[in-house]
Amino acid sequence: MRADLTSWATYAVSLFGQRPAAHHLLLLQHLERLSHDGADRLMVLMPPGSAKSTYASVLFPAWWFTQHPRSSVIGASHTAALAALFSRRIRDTVVRHKARLGYDICAADRSAAHWTTSSGGEYYATGVQGAVVGRRADLVVIDDPLKSQLEADSLHLRDRIWSWYQSDLSTRLKPKARIVLIMTRWHEDDLGGRLLQHEADEWQVLRLPALAEADDPLGRVPGEPLWPEWEGAAALARKRLAVGERAWAALFQQTPRPDTSALFDVGRLAVIAPLADPPEGPTVRAWDLASTLANGDNDPDWTVGLKMTRDPTGVYTVMDVVRFRGGPREVERRIVSTATADGRRVRIGLPEDPGQAGRSQMTYMASQLGGHVLDASRETGSKTLRAMPVASQIDAGNVRLVKAPWNHALIEELRAFPFGRKDDQVDALSRAFAMLLESAPPPRSMSLPFMGR
């Protein structure tokens, strides 16, 4: 049992009259490979009620210490209470089976959230976003970082969890540390989705939907239940009717999809490698301006400059997004510096305020952007109406994004529009698309004057 994770897990659950199902055995194989210097990032995506936590969050850490006796483990869940529950279950399992596992829990250190082993190991439990300063880990087990659809639909909370993962947890890893993420998907942009967007090459993914799909890892035929001894096809069909298609796709099939009420079908956006050569077609940088600085708890708008090109086949590519908050002087400075970096071939689009003040502002900006083509226009119609033309091109699969750190913020704003809190990037995208529809690329060798309309 100390040498083989499957033997240990099979024995442990047999005491409760259970035995590992096929998907449990596959999970145990992946976990054992991770322990033996296999892939150091494992993402386990399974539906609720599949007993993934019993094997991955309880039995695996207890066995881990037989292989890595002096290691440190951090267990994290959506709340400190759930993390402590897993911690107690691991601790009690070790105490119950100390003779077979070959180690015990130190009697003086048996708290729910933190305990040490007789062989020099350490386990620390925390809630997602909880403090891990001062801790170091050879293994991190994250089990269900989100607890509800309400939390999953909050961009603010998803951003906080991502920030915690990047800035707090990841910096606590020792060299050669491993991470296991065990979760049921809630949202396209939950922690699992964001990791697959930003670190896909680093993660081995074990995705087992409730009903099998093509190329199932277990060799099931499409439509076959994951654990028929526990929940058969008829029970799953009733559950599907009860929860609805959105929850079914996310929680049970591990393929979350956006709310269909949104304007943009972000699933149709292709993310491509950066362009090796300068684009052949016209290129523009469209701006949406804001000049309110953050103050206390307020949430001001962003100034956004979106760079977009159209190739000869009619495919549109978003090449870059500049997004910041600043006062009027900072906005002016960034527009000029970005234009300088882009070069004179890139046409600049700015919104013009009505009246003489707006014309005067554009005349001033033209003087600051000497040699660049400036397209100044007033915004007419609703934001949704202005966004519809580019939304239709996204639906048709004619819009791409160059892979970059700004992808996530743009996609999430598009996903939420027109019901989201912010629409600055949407406005810039709409303006850029309109400019590309209406203008031809300026000559490469000419320094063109200010052009307003």
* Domain ranges for the chain: 5-252, 266-452
Tell me the Ramachandran region of residue 176: left when phi exceeds 0, alpha when psi lies from -120 to 50, beta otherwise. left
Residue of 206, 205, 211 whose CA lies nearest to 235: 211
- pLDDT of 77 reads 94
DSSP one-letter code for 172: G
Tokens 């105490």 belong to residue: 95
- pLDDT of 449 reads 34
Residue of 203, 207, 195, 205 whose CA lies nearest to 158: 195
- pLDDT of 197 reads 83
Separation between Cα atoms, residue 42 and residue 179, nearest integer Å: 6
Give the 3-state secondary structure of residue 130: coil
The set of residues, in sequence order, having a beta carbon less than 8 Å from that of 11 and lying 6+ positions away, is: 1, 100
- pLDDT of 421 reads 75
Separation between Cα atoms, residue 157 and residue 372, nearest integer Å: 41
* Strand residue runs (E) in 406-448: none
Separation between Cα atoms, residue 306 and residue 283, nearest integer Å: 11
Let me know: does 26 contact 217? Beta carbons within 8 Å: yes
Q: Per-10-residue mean pLDDT for the chain, 453 residues long?
A: 96 96 98 90 96 97 97 94 95 96 86 91 91 86 91 88 91 93 92 90 95 93 94 93 86 80 80 86 92 56 94 93 91 92 92 69 80 79 88 91 92 82 91 84 35 33
- pLDDT of 354 reads 62
Instruction: Tell me the one-letter amino acid at 104.
Output: D
Cα atoms in the 13 Å half-sphere on the side-chain side of 169: 30
C-alpha of 264 from chain center: 18
What's the CATH superfamily of 5-252? P-loop containing nucleotide triphosphate hydrolases (3.40.50.300)
Q: Vertex 400, ends 399 and 405: CA angle to 5°?
A: 140
DSSP one-letter code for 378: -
Could you tell me which CATH number the domain at 266-452 has?
Answer: 3.30.420.280
C-alpha of 86 from chain center: 25
Let me know: does 318 contact 307? Beta carbons within 8 Å: yes
- pLDDT of 440 reads 47
**83: which 2 tokens?**
């993390």
- pLDDT of 446 reads 30
